Structure 1
Amino acid sequence: MQDLLGRLTALDPDASETLKVVSYFDALVARSVGVESMLRGAAVLSGATVGHRDSRRCVRVRADGVRIEPVEPSDAWNLRESAPDAVVWIERDGAAHANDGMILERLALALGIIRARRAGGAESAVELVISAFSAAEERAAAAARLRLPAGRLRVVASPPDPAPAEEHPSAVVATRQGLVRATLIGADERAEDAWAETGGVRLGVGGAALTEHLADSWESALIAARLTTPSEPVLVADDLGALLFIAQTAGGAQHPDAVALASLDNRSRELLNAVVDGQSVRAAAVRLGRHHSSVQERLASLVEVLGYDPRTPLGQARFVAARLLLRLRD
């Protein structure tokens, strides 16, 4: 498939885009993602709201991956039957785009495969129990299928591969940041232990919550995963404190402090990180292997760019918040 895609890209860009649609849905099917994740993938591909309605429920996902209120499909939209009692559609004003038909065709086929494969499976139960849009009775039934222990649990966000140990229920979920594995662990368990044989995997660990509130744990786990670094591959959302609130409320907006920080080159940001983390210019100079006076001189020019001094308590708080927002953007 990849070899064919490479050849078609050179010969016929339009045909290669169609093949990319096929490859994308093949990847989602291979990961056994759920209905909502499948719709999110179709919405991202089409750049428009995508919906699905069957005898039990109606789900709509915007192009930015956010689930929105259900509505009855309109005849003005491009619709396709995905089962005898189900239909999928793309909500687009005006003429359909070139790949809308292919997206709907592959979406309908993928949903049929996933329905057959996941009926009563653990993957679908995990996705239901962490979804903020599942009804209370759906979450309760999913928790019963998973035989979750009483008490508080945590959701761990990690790359799709590797999978955790079999005793930890998990599922690959399509998010706005791509495919992410969601894994359930006990509130007092160390997330690293579930991946003990692999090591080095990046893990965002959500806050502890009862089964009915695992959607909140999943949200915080995704934020924590996005803030992990090679030097800090495991991050627990609880350790973020008030920074978690900032990350949750930031949305897609960028504060001017983050914009200013983004305008700097990597070397300048490395210097600022060393000053703030070391809490002194002298400590930063030692960490960077540079002379104290050169660090002092460069810092003075960076203060002008930032609009504040990161060595002061308030300036340090502003820098840490800006750095967090920049990591989320990246």
Structure 2
Amino acid sequence: MIEAKNLTKRYGDKTAVNDLSFTVEPGRVTGFLGPNGAGKSTTMRLLLGLDKPDAGEATVNGVPYRDLARPLRVVGALLEARAVHTGRSAYDHLLCLAQTQGIGRRRVEEVIEQVGLASVARKRAGGFSLGMGQRLGIAAALLGDPAALVLDEPVNGLDPEGILWIRNLMKSLAAEGRAVFVSSHLMNEMAVTADHLIVIGRGRLVADCSTEEFIEQSTEQSVLVRTPDGALLAELLKGKGAAVTTTDEGDLDVTGLEAARIAELAAADGLVLHELSTRRGSLEDAFMELTKDAVEYDAGVPTAGGVK
């Protein structure tokens, strides 16, 4: 289990992390989200003892990272996959790390096989593609068979096959009972990967809940109605308190009434329905809505949802 307790970190007159508390539970993938400048990278550095907090404490299984005798056996981390001696082979890089932690060669071979680098294990890491580099970074994180993992943007720059591989790997690690803490800017990927979300803005906690709850609380469901009686149905639904707009295709987009109620009202008036489908907002919609006041750098470009 990873725990942050009232973490605060300042750089000069800027407060990067502000009284931040949360827990990353074992057995699930916890997504870590926030706009640029929200304090995500600083928080991860605090968790891993790379920065010292001005206040508060970060622990892994109840122990600060700096006090762990063999940290790779407790928590694996990927903060910068390219932080590798470019002249070393993947095997030698992992072996060097293993020897600092009392980990044997067999484990090095196991993680190389696990991440799919067996065919290039003896090649210099400096010649690796971005995807291969990410796999090597994941191998280093897994080396000590840790109970917790901290992964910063693990899908960054990967092709679809690589993204699917890392997604399935994180889910399988959580299914084994490990605590998986992962940051990403890819909302669609987090929507299908993370069971739970920690969302921050300007260094403060914005949300700490399940992914499903986050989407439901932050976006409004609507019902798409396809009918040849659009004008009549729209007036009927507006009279019942619904908000109704007409799409470019001539369908009705209805909020304020559930699909079952819309069907009942249409049937009572003898109106024909061809289709009813309930649509809920996306994780991206929810994220943009909840963090719109916590964006440090606003380029002024409207998003797909219309929020700048």
Q: TM-score, normalised by structure 1?
A: 0.30
- When you count helix as a share of all residues, which structure comes out higher? 1
TM-score (norm 2): 0.32
Q: Which has the higher contact order (CA 8 A, sep 6+)?
A: 2
